[in-house]
Each structure stands twice: as C-alpha cells, then as structure tokens.
Amino acid sequence: MIRQNDKPRAMPVRLLAAVLLASSISGMNAHAIDAPAQGRIVIALSPLGADSNLYWTTTGAFILPSMQTLVGNDPETGKYDNSQLADSWEHNADFTSWTFRLHPQATFNEPWGPVTSADVVHSFNMHIGDDAKLSGISLFKKIEITAVDDHTVRFDMPSPEPNFLFSNAGRGSLVIYSKAQFDAEGIKGYETSPAGSGPFKYEGREVGQSIRFSTIQDHWTGVNPEFDEIEFRWVSEPSTRYAMLSAGEAHAVTLPRDLQDDAAEDGQTVLVSTEGAMQTTMLFTGQFMNPEAEENRDARTYAWGDQRVREAANRALDREAILEVLYGEGVRPLPVYTMDPRFPGFSEELAARFDTDYGYDPDKAMALLAEAGYPDSFDNAKIPLVVTTLAGNPEFAQMAELVQAYFDVVGIETEMREQDWATGNTAIRGFTADFITPMRNAPVRPSALGVQIFFTEHASAHLNIGDPELNQLGGKLGNETDPATRDALLAKMFTRIFDTYAHLPMGEVPASVVVNSELVEGWTFPGSTSSGLSHFELIDLK
Amino acid sequence: MFRFLVTRISSSLFALLIITVIVFLLSHLSGSPVDALLPDDATQEQIDSFVREWGLDQPLWQQYLTFLVNAVQGNFGTSLKWPGEDAMGFVLDRMPATLKLGGLAILISVVIALPLGIAAAVYRGSAVDHGAQMFALLGQSMPNFWLGIILIWVFSVWLGWLPTSGMGTFAHAILPAVAIAWFQVSALARLTRSAMLEVLDAEYIKLARVKGVSEGMVVWKHALRNAAVVPLTYFGILAASILTGSVVIETVYSWPGMGWVALEAIRGRDFPVVQAVIIAYAVVYMLSNLFVDLLYVVVDPRIRRG
C-alpha cells in the first residue's frame, strides 16, 4: 500500500524540477557581461512617456537622432541656426507667413533620396492627424502649408506667429519623414525602420528597452561623430543607471541631484547644457486675481488670493539654499517664470530688483502675514502643497517639502498633498485645483508663448490666474506684430506678474548628464529639447 | 475528483470576474489618462478627440460592459504608452521573460531552501541550524528592491562579474533571480525545517531507526516524503509571490517582463495595459493555485477520496 502511494508523490517533484529547469534555461545564452563594444556609445535614460517610431504619436519628449527638424539650435548659445534641414527662412511683415528653403544637398538615409518640400508637406500632414499627441501641435492644425518648389515650403497661418521657429527647432513639433518611404512601405515602414536625414541611421529597437543607431559616414551636413554606433537604454531606476555608469556599461546617464553628487565624488563628470533647459516654479492655482467670481473657478477665498500672503510666501523662501539643494551647479535665479534673457520681453530692471523684492526675509514675511490678519481672517488659511514627481523632474517632491519647511518658519499653515502629476493635471484642467504645485517650462518657451500659457486666458484657460490687466495685455500681444511694441507689452506683463507676486519663481535649470570620466571627454548641448539632450554627434570620446 | 475540479474552476472564474470589476474601477478612478498622455498644453480639441477615441465619454457601467465583452475575447485595446501595440499581446509577449526569471528564482529557492531546511532540522540547535535561521531572517528582513541594488553594486560594479541590468544572456538573469529568490528561500527553509522537525519526532521514524535503516534513508526518504506536503502547499504562494515580487525587481534590473510592464504602464496611466497585465497576473496566480490544489490531491489521497 505504501509503495503504491509513494509513486505519484515522487512524480510531481521530478516534473516540477524539470519544468523549472527547462523554463529557466531555455532561451538564455551562457554568456557574460554586457560592456559596450569599441565605438559604441551607450546612454541610459528614464523611460519615455510614450515610446514609438511615429514621433507625432508621442508628446515629443525625444527626437530620434536619425530624424531632423527644419531649424537647428546652436550647441553653444541655443540660438536658431541652419544645422538642420532648412538652409534659410523668412517671414512676412506680420508674421503670418513663413517660408523655409531646404538645404539642396540634404538627403535621407539610403535609399530614399533627397529631402524635398514634398517630404515636409507629407510629414506636416502626418503630424496633424487625429492620432497626434505632440506638444504644440494645436498651432499646426490652423496652418496651411504649400510646397512652393522642390526646396521651398511656405506656412501660412491665420494669426501672427513670431515664435514659429521655436516649434520647428528643438521643441520639435515637426520632424521630417520620407514621403518616398511612405509611398513604398506605408506606415509600417515608419513603424519598423523610419528613414531620417540626421547623422545617424535607425538600426532597431526593443520596445521599452533600447533603441540603436549607427553613424552615417560622409553625412550631407559634414558632421562626423567619433563613434560607430549609439544606443539609448531606457532604465527606470536611477540607482541602476548610476551602476551602469560606474560599471562602464554606459557612457552617459541622467541622474537625480543626490546621485549626481555621489557620482561626482566617485570621479565621474557632470556635464550641464550651455543654456537653461527648464524653468521651475511653484504655481498658485485658480483665478485668484479675478475680481469677479466665476462659476467653478473662483479662487478668491484661498489664502493666496491676498497679495500680502503671496509676498510673504515669496519672502519666506531662501531660494539660494533651496536651489543649491535641488539642482546644484549651473542653476540661475528666475525673477519671473517664463521670462528669459534669450527672448523678447526680458526685463533687466526686474532682474535687478529681484533680490530686493523677493529676497529671503522671514521677518518681513511675518509682518506681512500679521498685516493681512493671517490665518484668522481667512476661510482657507491652510495652503495645500502638492508633493509630486514628473519624469525628468525628480526634485519636485523635495521642492514642495522645502517650501513647506520655510513656510512653517514664518507661520504659513500648509497641508502636504501627495498626488501624481496626472491627478494634479486633472484638477487643473477641471478647474478644481486648490493648491500650490511645482511646474516646469521645458524646453524654455519663447516668453510670449510661456506667459500666455501659464498666466492668461489666451492659451490655456485652466492656468489663467484671472487678472484682467494681464489678460488685456495678453490680448494685445496676440495681435501685435511690431517687435518693439511686443517687447514692451511683454515687459509690462512680466512687471505685473512680478509686482503682484503672482507665483513663487524658483530657478532656470540647465539639463545635466553624468558621463563616465574615463570614456567621455566632453559634450556640448544647449538644452533646447524637451529632454534637454541633443547634439549626440558632439559627444567627445577620450 | 471531478466535482472538486468543477468547484475550484468555478470559484476561480467568479474571482476573476470580481477582479475585472476592481481593476476596471481602480484604473478609472485613479485619474484620467488624458492628463498623463497628452501634453500640458493640449487643446480642448485634442482632449475631446482623445476622450472620444477611448470611449471615456461613455457612462462608467457602459465602459465596463464594453471592457468585459472585449476582455473575454482577449481584446483589451491598444496601448497608450506604446502606441500601436495590442495591450494583451504586449503583456503576453513579456510573459516568457517573467516566467524565465520566475522559473530560475523558484529553482534557486527550492535547490537552496530544501537542503537548508532539512539540515537545520537534522542538526537542530547546532551552528548549522543557527546559520540557516540567520540566513532566513536576513532574507525575510531585507526589502528585495534594496537587496537588488546591493547585489548590482557588489557583483556588477565592484567585482565586475555580472551585468547590471537588461536581458539577453543567462548572466543577466542571475542577480534578479537571486534577489527574488532570497526571500522565498527564507520562507521555504523555515517551513521545511518545522515540517521536518515534526516528522522526525514521529513514531514511524523512530521505528525505522530501530530497524537499522541508515540515517540518510531516514531523512531523505521516510521523513522528507511526508514533510514535503507542507512546503508543497506553500508552492502556490511562492509562485504568486515571485510573480508579484517581479514587479519591483524587473524594474530595478530593467528586465522586460510583465512586472516591468505593470509598473511602466501604471506610471504612464496606460490603462489598457494595466488592465491586461493585472488580469494576466490573476490568471497565472489562479492557474498556479489550481495546479497546487491538483498536486495536493495527487499527493494526499484523503482529499482525492473525500
């Protein structure tokens, strides 16, 4: 009896062992470490929000280095240049028509021939389709495009667009695909192996894992990278990216600030973009400056509806210390969020007044709060601070925590509200936001665009702070084409924002990347793309 | 036996239905994918188009029914984060990677835990027993993501023996499998030890020894065969823990399995993939439990006859 029962007992154990062993070993090669081959650059980055070869179906966070836009950015200054497909460009007097002339020698990677205006028109039409999710694409939907000749293309728009170059440069609202490839292979061709005209050729991807490119010899731009291949690996965990760098598996990685410090102590090199790649702020939400109540959008009962509280909040912050903790080297003070010396409207006067009017002064902050009768005179005295993270901005949670600590010193009551970025966006778009949230402007938009998006009713109704004066100035700006008048209007808008303490500006932050100091000599990039990284062909190896 | 099978399968299907309700509600109540997948400056037109395309303008119950009907056919829609990819297809494509890693982790667990547990029981109170218990305590105390990172630094960065992350060779699987397995080794070793201690005290073991059966035969044949039922029942939990544990470890090691997909999809509010991956996890979990129940029936005749 016992023996009969014993047999079936032995079987499952053996079976189990066999199944486990087979499933474990099958498909795995007995091979070891994955060090980069000679001539192959490996860059490890956070995974993308959307991962596709069809660029317009992503939010534009990463332009494949095989693809090109019309306008380039100088690596040293970030200024627009003709290093991409357009050789030159011009606009009419009121900025409603832009004409681009393509480089006559520009060609797609074999075998798709020269880049012509037909490719630009075709790409444009792909980008404005229903599946487009690109940032800034709404502007393109209003545009009429015409191929003037083989190498000239014209964009006609219903209203003045003085900042049209921005959309066509590092922001990358339009990248150029080959029409000939589409005609021959359809959308499948783009999905599996999109031909571009950049100095790299697309070689393949493992979805969500990596994407590979080879260097093109004798590229039409004359660009000649020092390496044969470049591979981007998407790695979620920052500690793993750091380990890849230290183990020599990656030449460059992006890391949060604390790990950057560790890497620097270990002898690795932190490289920053030559220009600011992102502006950060803590934004008051709601129409707190609207003198008249508006259904669902009335934010006047929030504590920050009172200008004295807003000024106190600004005076309570030791920005120098906060920025040092959050971002370290290369970060610059930011008098007004969306104002930038590279763009019209920059006010030297505001920059000069910043220390006096926004400098760290807890005593003044407490006096202002007392004058405002805070907290007793407020129905909503407690200020919710959003603790959140956003891809590429791991510092946001700590930013809120530091602000809370400084607020606490002067007696501003706070409530930490942990929520993910999308939840905050849902509240902002639904006009139910009642908090102060970290916000970023990346890549740094032209001031005229940024100020409308983040402060007025003219670009994003849900971020409108409800100030009639700002909205009026924004309305005028939208119709104004004279550069001097636009400059003056923008300066007035920034002064209004500055004087009313309408937000908590933080800093202008460069993009940063940590490189293996034994492998990489340097890399110059301007921080003009959404990810902050670009100009991969300029990676200088040791 | 047949009745037992029918009851188990029916209860599994009912549980699956409840899971679909929970998954659907949680993925919708946790926020709109619009805000994760469209840019900050998306226009109302873009938002409206997205909402229409994904049926987010329909009442919730209607969305659920549509989801359920489609889910039964294996259709969870297309991924939002990986445009153009079928949600369930994308998850299933990554299942072999998880099974490979899980299989290796289970193998490591069993190969280490059983001898460890047996040795601890046989040499009760000795240095071997204390060492085994210390090993188990460590495994159960260390969070596996932390252990994963420490293993990377020791074996990849300092010693340079193994790759830090990714998938491709057998070497890539070793560190993540160990990181997953250590906790399970601890649990399984402790269970084996306590089961063996109980059995080694039994009368029939004493009788075997009195009859002059060698100690090796007593331990490995007579004692282990009876003690094995306890760790075997733990196997279902073990398989499930390894699958769910893979969510963190696959992310730390950038191992492109189902766990990695789950976390990336949640981060990206890719709710078709989130729904698909959770349902896939649930099905695997239920199948592994069903398998264990069947094994249990085979091993224990009292259940078979009952």
Contact flag A453-B100 (C-beta cutoff 8 Å): no
In a domain, B79, yes or no: no
Please answer whether residues B225 and A7 qualify as being in contact, where contact means their C-beta atoms are separated by less than 8 angstroms.
no
Q: Do B53 and B92 fall within a single domain? A: no
Tell me, yes or no, if B224 comes closer than 8 A to chain A by beta carbon.
Answer: no
pLDDT of A21 higher than 50: no
Asked if the structure places residue B78 within a domain, the reply is no
B82 CB near a chain A CB, below 8 Å? yes
Q: Which of A31, A234, A429 lies at the smallest CB-CB distance from B171?
A: A31
- Tokens 């991409």 locate to A84
Which is higher by pLDDT, A329 or A159?
A159
Q: What are the tens digits of pLDDT across the range B124-178?
A: 888 888 988 888 888 888 888 899 999 999 999 999 999 999 998 999 999 999 9
Say yes or no: B153 and B268 in one domain.
Answer: yes
* pLDDT above 50: residue A54: yes
Instruction: Look at A426 and B31 and tell me if their CB atoms are within 8 Å.
Output: yes
pTM: 0.83
pLDDT reported for residue B306: 55
Residue B66 domain-assigned (yes or no): yes
The answer on pLDDT for A8 being more than 90 is no
Contact (CB, 8 A) for B67 and B58: no
User: Over pLDDT 70: what percentage of chain A?
Assistant: 92
Q: Which residue from B minimizes the CA distance to A445?
A: B41
* Of residues A57, A423, A459, nearest to B41 (C-beta): A459
Q: Which of B135-144, B179-188, B288-297 has the lowest mean pLDDT?
A: B288-297
Per-residue pLDDT of A147-206, as tens digits, reads 999 999 999 999 888 889 999 998 888 999 999 999 999 999 999 999 999 999 999 998
Is the pLDDT at A17 greater than 50, yes or no?
no
pLDDT value, residue A29: 42
Distance from CA of B159 to the nearest CA of A (A): 9
Answer whether A390's CB lies under 8 Å from A443's CB. Answer: no
What span, in angstroms and rounded, lies between the C-alpha atoms of A496 and A529?
29
State the pLDDT at residue A14: 47
pLDDT of B37: 63
Interatomic CA distance for residues A303 and A500, integer angstroms: 14
pLDDT in tens, A79-131: 999 999 999 999 999 899 999 999 999 999 878 999 999 999 999 999 998 78
Which residue among B40, B82, B164 sits closest to A425, beta carbon to beta carbon? B40
Cβ within 8 Å, pair A459-B81: no
Q: In chain B, what residues touch A58 (CB-CB under 8 Å)? A: 83
Q: What mean pLDDT is predicted for residues A231-240?
A: 94
| pLDDT score for A38 | 54
Q: What pLDDT was estimated at residue A10? A: 40
Instruction: Specify the 3-state DSSP secondary structure of A93.
Output: coil
Biggest CA-to-CA distance, chain B: 86
Evaluate whether residue B97 is within a structural domain.
yes
Split at pLDDT 50, 70, 90, the class of B205 is: confident
Dihedral sign of CA atoms B290, B295, B297, B300 in order: negative
Please tell me which of the candidates B100, B169, B228 has its beta carbon nearest to residue A32.
B169
Determine the average pLDDT of the residues in A2-9.
37
Q: Kindly determine whether residue B83 and residue A235, on different chains, have CB atoms separated by under 8 Å.
A: no
Tell me if A233 and B47 make a contact (CB, 8 A cut-off): no
Residues of A within 8 A of B295 (CB-CB) are: 12
Q: Which of A207, A232, A337, A516 to mutate to test the interface with B (most CBs of B within 10 A)?
A: A207
What DSSP string describes chain B? -HHHHHHHHHHHHHHHHHHHHHHHHHHHHT--THHHHS-TT--HHHHHHHHHHTTTTS-HHHHHHHHHHHHHTT---B-TTTTT-BHHHHHHHHHHHHHHHHHHHHHHHHHHHHHHHHHHHHTTTSHHHHHHHHHHHHHHHS-HHHHHHHHIIIIIIIS--S-SS-SSBHHHHHHHHHHHHHHHHHHHHHHHHHHHHHHHTSHHHHHHHHTT--HHHIIIIIIHHHHTHHHHHHHHHHHHHHHHHHHHHHHHTT--SHHHHHHHHHHTT-HHHHHHHHHHHHHHHHHHHHHHHHHHHHH-HHHHH-
Mean pLDDT highest for which of A273-277, A492-496, A526-530, B287-291?
A492-496
Is 90 exceeded by the pLDDT of residue A272? yes
Question: Phi then psi for A421, rounded to 5 degrees?
Answer: -60, -40
Nearest-angstrom CA–CA distance, A533 and A79: 15
Kindly report, residue by residue over A358-380, the tens digit of the pLDDT.
Answer: 999 999 999 999 999 999 999 88
Asked if residue B201 and residue B126 are part of one domain, the reply reads: yes
Q: Are residues B35 and B111 in the same domain?
A: no
Q: Are residues B177 and B66 in the same domain?
A: no
Q: How far is A492 from chain B (nearest CA, A)?
A: 24
- Measured CA to CA, the distance from residue B150 to residue B95 in angstroms comes to 26
Q: Which of B49, B72, B95 is the last residue of a domain?
A: B72
pLDDT for A152? 97
Cβ contact (<8 Å) for B46 and A137?
yes
**Angle at CA A523, nearest 5°, toward A521 and A529?**
160
Q: Do residues B181 and B275 both lie within one domain?
A: yes
* B25 lies in the same domain as B125: no
CA distance A213 to A205: 9
Q: How far apart are CA A259 and CA A454, in angstroms?
A: 31
Q: What is the mean pLDDT of chain A?
A: 88
Residue B80 lies in a domain: no
Radius of gyration for the alpha carbons in chain A, expressed in angstroms and rounded: 26
Domain membership flag for residue B57: yes
User: Which residues of chain A have a CB within 8 Å of the CB of B40?
Assistant: 135, 425, 460
Whether B83 and A26 lie within 8 Å, measured CB to CB: no
Q: What percent of chain A has pLDDT over 90?
A: 70
A325-334, A514-523, A530-539, B229-238, range with the lowest pLDDT = B229-238
Facing A28 at nearest CB: one of B100, B166, B256 = B100
Q: Once rounded to an integer, what is the mean pLDDT over residues B239-247?
A: 75
Coil/strand/helix, residue A201: strand
- Residue A516 amino acid letter: N
Number of folded domains that form chain B: 2
Interchain pair B83, A34: CB under 8 A? no
| Yes or no, beta carbons of B103 and A20 under 8 Å apart | yes
Minimal CA–CA distance to B258: which of A19, A208, A24, A237?
A208
- Please tell me whether the peptide bond between B59 and the residue prior to it is cis, using omega within 30 degrees of 0: no
- Distance between A54 CA and the closest CA of chain B, angstroms: 8
Cα distance between the two ends of chain A: 76
Please compute the mean of the pLDDT values over residues B260-264 and round it to a whole number: 91
Note whether B66 and B191 are same-domain residues: no
As given in the structure block, the two tokens for residue A160 are 């003045």
Which of A23, A34, A136 lies nearest to residue B99, judging by beta carbons? A23
One domain for residues B62 and B27: yes
Whether residues B67 and B109 fall in one domain = no
CB contact under 8 A, B162 and A243: no
Are B164 and B256 within one domain?
yes
Q: Kindly report the nearest CA distance between residue A247 and chain B, in angstroms.
A: 5
- Tell me which residues of chain B, numbers 178 to 207, contact chain A at a CB-CB cutoff of 8 Å: none
User: Which of B37, B90, B163 lies at the smallest CB-CB distance from A34?
Assistant: B163
Cβ-contact A492, A244 below 8 angstroms: no
Residue B82 lies in a domain: no
- Across the interface, whether the CB atoms of A34 and B35 are under 8 A apart is answered no
Residue A391: pLDDT band (50, 70, 90) is confident
Same domain? For B60 and B125 the reply is no
Residue pairs between chains A and B whose CB atoms are closer than 8 Å? 207
Closest by Cβ to B81, choosing from A30, A51, A210: A51
Local confidence band at B3 (pLDDT 50, 70, 90 cut-offs): confident
Residue ranges in A272-420 assigned as alpha helix (H): 307-315, 319-326, 348-358, 362-372, 396-410
**Position B77 in a domain:** no
| Contact between chains at B103 and A249 (C-beta distance less than 8 A) | no
Nearest to A312 by CA among A380, A410, A381: A410
Chosen for mutation from B40, B242, B266 (greatest number of chain A CBs closer than 10 Å) is B40
Give the Cα separation of A430 and A452 in Å (integer): 19
Q: Do A20 and B263 touch (CB under 8 A)?
A: no
The whole-angstrom separation of Cα A471 and Cα A457 is 6
CB contact under 8 A, B46 and A138: yes
The interface residues of chain B toward chain A in range 130-169, judged by CB-CB distance below 8 A, are 149, 152-153, 156-157, 160-169
Q: Which of the listed residues B39, B72, B105 is the one where a domain comes to its end?
A: B72
Contacts of A135 in chain B (CB under 8 A): 39-42
Q: Measured between beta carbons, which residues in chain B are less than 8 angstroms from residue A19? A: 103
Say if the Cβ atoms of B225 and A21 lie within 8 Å. no
Domain membership of residue B248 as a residue range: 87-305
* CATH value at residue B228: 1.10.3720.10
Residue A25 has pLDDT above 50, yes or no: no
Q: Is the pLDDT of residue A323 over 90?
A: yes
